[in-house]
Amino acid sequence: MKIALCQINPIIGDIGGNKAKIEKGYKRGVNDGAELVIFPELALCGYPPQDLIEKEEFRTAVQAAAQELASITGETGLLFGSITEHKESVGTGIYNSALLCYNGKLQFTQKKTLLPNYDVFDEVRYFESAKEVFVHEFKGEQLGISICEDIWNDDDYWKHRRYHTDPVQSIVDLGATLLLNISASPYAYGRRTERLEMLSVLTKTDKIPLAYVCCAGAQTDLIFDGASMCFSSNGELKMMGKCYEEDYFIFNTEHKYPSITKVEKSMEEEVLQSLILGLKDYASKTGFKKAVIGLSGGIDSAIVVYIAVQALGAENVHVIMMPSKYSSSGSITDSEKLIQNLSITSSTISIQPAFEKVLDLLNPIFSDKPEDITEENLQSRLRGVYLMAYSNKFGSLLCTTGNKSEMAVGYATLYGDMNGALAVLGDVYKTDVYKIANFINRNDEVIPEAIISKPPSAELRHNQTDQDSLPEYEILDRILKMYLEESKEYNEIIEEVKDETIVKKILRLVDLNEFKRKQAAPVLRVSTKAFGYGRRYPIVQGWRK
């Protein structure tokens, strides 16, 4: 069968725009002689629609658009993801469905069986699970259609399965001769290789070819990398869509293609491309054309500025340097060199006069109390005021610059450097930030070497470095990854780190600073466990005091 895979970038709730993309892709497939044109999971309404699903008017509009798409079809099949609804006495009666249309009608519907309810997924909140699966005869093939998670429970690949049922195996048992999976699978580094390995095992074991289509683009914090995959019946990857962008290609199950074995690049390159796409789509889909960033002379803000330039163009990025009496001369000169390297505009506004004035105003209240973190936070909050003022006045998207290590332990100021609309590096550990900087500089010195090599510092007091308050980042990030991403606890971490004092301190800091993260900007997700919607931890708790 000749199958056209349309890897589109939908916008959640933009039913008309998404419908137009589906119609355009279908007509292209027809013109190219495709027998079937397929689109990703919930392509018509965008994924994940979240509480929009609870609005009856929204569901009605989606289903009306689906009928309109069905009406334009001819002999070429059209398969896309949408919402279906069936009033029942128990449950929501709403389904995440794959719709197969041809000859002007909706001919077949397969509802999603496995509804993920972990990390960033909570489909159980909205959808009902399919009660059974079917195959559908079309142009001499028995189509076995599944939706995203349905294919992630193969008994031959997973040592531990999340679900008791395996809908794809049921489809195979019903006599499927061609597997189709429409997906909206968020990206995290390593996930594409995992898809390759899992789908290879499945197709090789069942001896059935597979066309797997995934969406591309970003939806707030979630990044979808595209990379749709087509496998032969012997488990070999034969075609793959472009990464991090929309794509269209045709897979003919009867043709012989060279095999593809490598699907993922280095962590540095993959994460960098993910973040560029995440920022680009966040800005475009929310109506921003320009970005503003506070440039401190440190590595985090330098990387965020670089990402913004790649995402939006140098002409649309403005940086503000906000020195105080604690700022080193190197911070200014290093920042100026980066500005020159990237050909962006900048402003310099000292916070020192405002800082001194605020201290004078607070002096009657503070009385004779010694200076402490309060004065440090005041400086950060003044910078936040400047940046938000610029953002409001010029309509620029303010990007925060904190990394995952800092956000984890609360090494950030609420209403200060945490101000902004999007946390670009919020899911990137500090040690990985350095790796990404070196990758950016692999051919030319884009990020000034002085920024990379100097000890990291918030510069909120004399001679301050991050390591005054935190352990070395190699140790800190090792602890954080075990705790946050591997769900390990105190005793397990101690076995590897061998320093009870540091482990106890770090875990306590992570838990105590949950209240800050609840108020933080959305974090672009590039790992299997990012701060935000996918990590739900109580602020008030007695597990670790």
Q: What residues are labeled active site? A: 41, 112, 148
DSSP string, 70-86: HHT--SSEEEEEEEEE-
- Give the helix/strand (H/E) hosting 60: helix 56-71
Backbone angles phi and psi of 332, in degrees to 5: -70, -50
DSSP state of 214: E
The span from the CA of 473 to the CA of 517, in Å, is 20
The span from the CA of 296 to the CA of 465, in Å, is 14
Backbone angles phi and psi of 151, in degrees to 5: -95, -5
Counting every residue written for the chain, the total comes to 545
The span from the CA of 226 to the CA of 5, in Å, is 11
The span from the CA of 334 to the CA of 337, in Å, is 5
β-sheet bridge partners, residue 84 = 95
Number of C-beta neighbours around residue 60 at 10 A: 12
Number of C-beta neighbours around residue 275 at 10 A: 26
Q: Distance from first CA to last CA of the chain, Å, rounded?
A: 61
3-state secondary structure string across 466-498? HHHCCCCHHHHHHHHHHHHHCCCCHHHHHHHHC
Peptide bond into 323 cis (omega under 30): no
Backbone angles phi and psi of 329, in degrees to 5: -60, -30
Rg, C-alpha atoms of the chain: 26
The span from the CA of 16 to the CA of 369, in Å, is 61
The span from the CA of 249 to the CA of 212, in Å, is 12
Handedness of CA 195, 197, 201, 203 (dihedral sign): positive
Backbone angles phi and psi of 4, in degrees to 5: -95, 120
